[in-house]
Amino acid sequence: MGSDEIASNDSKNLPMSTRVEENPPNSTTSLLSSSIKYPKPSTSSSVLFSLILTTCVALFAAIAFALLFYSSSKKPMSNLIQENAMLLKKLKHPVVIIISSDGFRFGYQFKTSTPNIDRLIVNGTEAEHGLIPVFPTLTFPNHYSIVTGLYPAYHGIINNYFTDFDTGEKFNMGSHEPKWWLGEPLWETVVNHGLKASTYFWPGSEVHKGDWTCPKFYCQQYNESVPFEERVDTVLSYFDLESDDDIPSFMTLYFEDPDHQGHQVGPDDPQITEAVANIDGLMGRLIDGLEKRGIFDDVNIIMLGDHGMVGTCDKKLIFLDDLAPWIEVPKDWIQSYSPLLAIRPTSNHSPKEVVAKMNEALSSGKVKNGEYLKVYLKEELPSRLHYSDSDRISPIIGLIGEGFKVEQKKSTNQECGGAHGYDNAYFSMRTIFIAHGPQITRGKKIPSFENVQIYNLVTSILGISGAPNNGSMSFADNIVLHRH
């Protein structure tokens, strides 16, 4: 799984309270030499006595330091959790809730009054210019990257729909077989440490992996028709459980909006404004519920989205049949059209030759909108996309211009809505990141970052070790507060 690309967490930074200084001051020596009075010996005896005393003191100090180091380095994970819990007022252990508002493009929060989101921002940490999704900027690849810290090529969910070319089996958004879902999602990491986790809808959460079995009480089976308010209330009900040990340390909460509206009407319609106001109201419902229980200041809330949204219209179309004078690209080669063009030619066609002929056509000036599509062998894609090291990825990938769509042939369909999935370098694909809680730095603005960093952020807050991933612990250390 591309181990050279994955940063191991074996050497993670522990909370500051568990670190042992490399060269601690030898306070034991000064204490002994100043507090004990000895008879004055003769000169030769004095030298010998001093050597013996110094040796004994040094040996004593070394033993004391070794015991200190051993006890610290062997400190069980439960102690780390307890130390993080010292920051809390009522809850006995740290809690993280990740809330995803699907398709919440960065900037939507400025469309209308969002007092509840603003409250989290003012007293928490915000990605000042938005959260960067992974490529492709689609729902399933990004949600699973958020909870595994892995790029899609490594966690296996390379698209919302795709084919395993080795077996011919097809993946769709209802596929729950563990073989599709690689990596270790946060709910699995959490239960591996003997803690509780709950999921109220999240791609991959219904998959049985490791010690995670999607328990009925803590793991909700996806049902789009469940009212958003009911989802919030269910999460709040976990805090009413009699035993603190039964309160999940990690929870997810998912809303389909404003992605639903964005696809229908694009990012600039009044329906988006209404959806954003509704999401803010749901955040207010969550905050109010936590405050009534007296635990709002004890809960770490991470609010984010999976991707942004851009408007599309029929005039922004590229037709593969227009390439016929140079090369025919038949429909049965196409794994996906838009906004990620994925092509798998039959075995009697060289992918390299197909790419060369397609790019020749697209750059000829004779293909309508041809300049808005660039085709690559997957291994020649820009390395920043991290989209090559998987056999599930088609050998030919086309990067489509912002807001454009690829279709096989001209049609009379009239459409003008919204889409996502494009290059994650487009600002329109960015979403939001806001973190608030007792272990989150207050009033901080941070630069934009890719969502693979969030896995380590959560494990750092909870004081547990995570699985190898593509993120870095230095990112988490920049946000998370630990008790010194």
Extract long-range pairs of 158-166: CB within 8 Å, 24+ residues apart: 158/387, 158/390, 158/392, 158/393, 159/335, 159/336, 159/340, 159/342, 161/336, 162/335, 162/336, 162/342, 162/392, 163/335, 163/392, 164/392, 165/344, 165/391, 165/392, 166/391
Torsion angle (degrees, nearest 10) of CA 111, 114, 119, 122: 10
What burial letters (b/e) apply to 214-239, b meaning 16+ CB within 10 Å?
beeebbbebeeeeebeebbeebbebb
The token pair at 476 is 């988490």
Residues 27 and 38: their CA atoms lie apart, in Å, by 20
- What does the alpha-carbon distance between residue 204 and residue 160 come to, in Å, rounded to a whole number? 12
* Rounded Cα distance, 468 and 204, in Å: 18
CA torsion sign, 206 to 207 to 210 to 213?
positive
Neighbour tally for 321: CB within 10 Å: 13
Cβ pair 203, 139 in contact under 8 A: yes
Spatial CA neighbour of 408 closest among 353, 483, 343 = 343
Q: Distances in Å between the alpha carbon of 256 and those of 223, 228, 269? A: 11, 9, 17
Other CB atoms within 10 Å distance of the CB of residue 165: 14
C-alpha radius of gyration, the chain, whole number: 28
- Sort strands 444-446 and 125-127 into parallel, antiparallel or unpaired: parallel
Q: Both tokens of residue 45?
A: 């005896």
Task: Identify whether 346 is a catalytic site residue.
Answer: no
Nearest to 250 by CA among 174, 192, 321, 208: 192
Cβ atoms < 10 Å from Cβ of 208: 14
- Say which of 137, 139, 252, 312 is annotated catalytic: 139
* Partners of 162 in the β-ladder: 171
Q: What span, in angstroms and rounded, lies between the C-alpha atoms of 320 and 325?
A: 11
Residues carrying an active site annotation: 139
